[in-house]
Amino acid sequence: MKHLQPFALTLFTIVTGFGVLSPALAAEQLDLTVCMSGNGDIFNDTKDAMQAASWTQNGIFTSHSPSKLLHSAVVHCAGVEHGFGAERVGYGVCKIMDDDGDVIIADIPYSGFDYDVKFLSGTGKWKGVKGSLHSERLVRSRLDKGAMPGTYQGCRRERGTFELLK
């Protein structure tokens, strides 16, 4: 019986150790508002071809989730698009950085005004992040009425889930 105790202790250590060390996904809900300011550069506006433009924008999140995840995180996005207004089609990439300096990289393939934001990778506490947000336009300044010439401002509501390897 005495020689089974080390075996039982080793088995207990292996089982509980693997339970702690093995990756597990924990899904959480996010409910955010992001407000941004940006500028665009139309690089094709010829009569016989569709409009083509690039854009960059910076902003900040406020969280409506009980956990307050990503509250006061800042974001920088850049992208390109063709077409105009609700007919536009484009692609953007965003860097979201929280108060601790940890980063999430997300991509935004879009068509029209509402789209999904997909989390691609992260650093620190966001390492292994997976998930997406559905983003809906709340308000946006008119193209010719930004706070400064050549700029636009707007806010979006973004809701979805994310998972982290634990």
The C-alpha atoms of residue 113 and residue 111 are separated, in whole angstroms, by: 7
Q: What is the pLDDT of residues 29-58, one digit of tens each?
A: 999 999 999 999 999 999 899 999 999 999
In this structure, how many other beta carbons lie within 10 angstroms of the beta carbon of residue 21? 7
Residue written as token pair 């409009």: 51
Name which of 164, 117, 158 is nearest 30 in CA terms. Answer: 158
The C-alpha atoms of residue 119 and residue 56 are separated, in whole angstroms, by: 19
Q: CB within 8 A of 153, min separation 6: which ones?
A: 35, 36, 37, 38, 140, 141, 146, 147
Question: Can you tell me the mean pLDDT for 128-140?
Answer: 96
Split at pLDDT 50, 70, 90, the class of 25 is low
- pLDDT at residue 2 tops 80: no
**Whole-number pLDDT of residue 23:** 43
